[in-house]
Copies of this chain bind each other. A is one copy, B any other.
């Protein structure tokens, strides 16, 4: 099969398209013929090995957002059959889906929403699972929290743009998103943000100007190191902060404010379940829930940049755009390899 591969870590130049063997299925795997794929910040981090992955001994296939058709199932797999239309985010510790075929454990695969195109559907899995896990598994936001306030950083970004929708439409929270340019502001509001503030300016002052002294929840998708001190000031006593950014570079003295307010800080890593093989079917359950909500038009797709094929030039350009941090919504590629 054809795949986007790399043999060393580095810039977009390490990416190439090559002919490699089709994946061999493990007992609970399904083999998926890809129809569409999307990029995520983790592609860039993996390509450059910012995530501190193991040294490359062979080629590596990136990509953790796939939609396609089941072609075969493993000896012990029972959830899907050939011909099923499915979507998944996959495991960071296996070969990814920037290829014609991908093998994925059936427990982290869901049925694709029927009303979306392949490309529209590819905008959901990784960021949708991330936001869902953050809200329901980590922060444990529930019915009794309706009407409370949440600040979501980078509202027009991959996770931000789905998180706003879930926070507003499902959890019925009052949503303040950060956005710094007219297009981001427009998108954040379209997804459901009640207010936007500019993350390049003083967050506390802008919140106060909107009439909020504190917020009950914060979802940090962008720069915990820069924002943590401010979060200590604006989070409510007993508030909850979740971050999809690791805390390795924070100034720990900024945790004092969280302590004095009895705040909870949740780290969210979408690959935890597949990496440690714990409670993996929860991701299938989340994907099925997202599919239902997408089909019911509660959640809107965010495939705003669509490349019509996977050429070397297209995948490198998709990476460059992802790397810029300035794109809106999701970057998607139709999985026709040329």
Contact = CB atoms under 8 A, between A and B. Distances in A.
Interface in A251-270: 251-253, 255-256, 258-269
A265 to B, nearest CB: 5
Nearest to A247: B255
B252 A262 contact: no
Given A262-B268, A264-B265, A246 B237 contact: no
A249 B262 CA distance: 17
By size class, the interface of chain A is: 35 or more
Q: Is the interface of A mostly helix, strand, loop or mixed?
A: mixed
Contacts of A256: 246-248
Interface string A272-305: 1101101100000000000000000000000000
Contacts of A186: none
A83 to B, nearest CB: 34
Given A137-B238, A140-B140, A265-B265, A275 B252 contact: no
A279 B239 CA distance: 12
B259 A269 contact: yes
A246 B232 CA distance: 13
A85 to B, nearest CB: 29
A238 B279 contact: yes
A252 B253 contact: no
Given A140-B140, A238-B137, A255-B267, A261 B246 contact: no
A260 B250 CA distance: 16
A133 interface: yes
Nearest to A269: B262
Contacts of A238: 137, 272-273, 278-279
A272 B256 CA distance: 12
Contact of A253 (B248, B258, B264): B248
B236 A246 contact: no
A124 B187 CA distance: 52
Contacts of A276: 237, 261
Interface of A: 133, 137-138, 140, 236-238, 243, 246-253, 255-256, 258-269, 272-273, 275-276, 278-279
Ranked nearest first, the 10 interchain pairs of A and B with the lowest CB-CB distance are A247-B255, A246-B259, A262-B272, A237-B276, A259-B267, A264-B266, A237-B278, A250-B252, A265-B265, A262-B269
